[in-house]
Amino acid sequence: CYEAFVHIVDSMVNQHAKWLKVSAGIAWRRPIASLNYLLTSHVWRQDHNGLSHEDPGFLDHVATKTASVARIYLPPDANCLLSVADHCLRSRHYVNVIVAGKQPEAQWLGIDDAVRHCTAGAGVWDWASDPDETPDVVMACAGDVPTLETLAAVQLLREYVPDIRIRVVNVVDLMVLQPQSEHPHGLDARAFTALFTADAPVIFAFHGYPALIHRLAYRQPNHANFHVRGFKEEGTTTTPFDMVVLNDLDRYRLALDAITRIPRLHDRVAAETQRYWATMERHKLYIAEHGEDLPEIRDWRWAP
């Protein structure tokens, strides 16, 4: 389903979720196949259509439904999508929402690692992280495009600050961000801290509206240090990368966010801010002249 237009069935999802909740308590009612929504043509790949086709708010809608029923998955790559889809199609008595774009994207995990990652719901990507147990910053992400921008930001940070200590956390199952007392998939305080630390700044790149992350995680440890970037109702007919720039979800903004929030790097903030705006100026001039993104954006590849 087209992500922006799935709101047409909001009321039907409401009624079905309520029916699932009530029927689960009736002994003679057997569980039925889950209602699965695959949302494609999503907000971050609407550069050809513009603002009218950009709305990730269905996630907010489903997140309000009963915890025993509602599930939201944001696979970062194709193998994770296969794992999530397999789980959802086998499941019973849920409303499952999967968000996955139709455009070619990077492949981050092999299938075995993808299955383990999706089963856990969230995890540290060791291959993209520094081994230090006390990172300067946690770079978190949920969604395919936010994951791409986060990993690109990690490379920028290592270029800008070679001794920086970074932990990369990817979230597939959005409901793990809630406390265990609020959702069966939720993480307890110890597990949440093991991912996001007790006190490090967390730069969270999210597919949807930033407030949803805060709403889910507000009772968790270290939530006060969460800084979430996501969709903020900015868009037009433009290039793919300019879409994330317009919403402050681009790699350069994420890198600047991290530097700004690491105490030992405060003396670098002014210079890095100047570098950021110079890069944005170069980006704007290039897309205006060429109608496509800068070569370093189009050709970017992960390099450890």
Q: Domain coordinates of the chain in residue numbers?
A: 3-298
What is the value of pTM for the model shown?
0.97
pLDDT of residue 50: 83
Pick the CATH number of 3-298 from 3.40.50.300, 3.30.70.2860, 1.10.260.30, 3.40.50.920: 3.40.50.920
Over the stretch 229-287, which tens digit does the pLDDT of each residue have? Answer: 999 999 999 999 999 999 999 999 999 999 999 999 999 999 999 999 999 999 999 99
Beta-carbon contacts of residue 251 (< 8 Å; ≥ 6 apart): 149, 150, 152, 153, 156
pLDDT of residue 294: 98
pLDDT averaged over the chain? 96
- Report how far residue 241's alpha carbon sits from residue 37's, in angstroms, rounded to the nearest whole number: 26
Residue 77's nearest CA partner among 43, 39, 103, 46 is: 103
Over the stretch 12-37, which tens digit does the pLDDT of each residue have? Answer: 999 999 999 999 999 999 999 999 99
| Helix or strand (DSSP H, E) at 141 | strand 137-142
pLDDT of residue 304: 76
Over the stretch 194-240, which tens digit does the pLDDT of each residue have? Answer: 999 999 999 999 999 999 999 999 999 999 999 999 999 999 999 99
pLDDT surpassing 80 at residue 86? yes
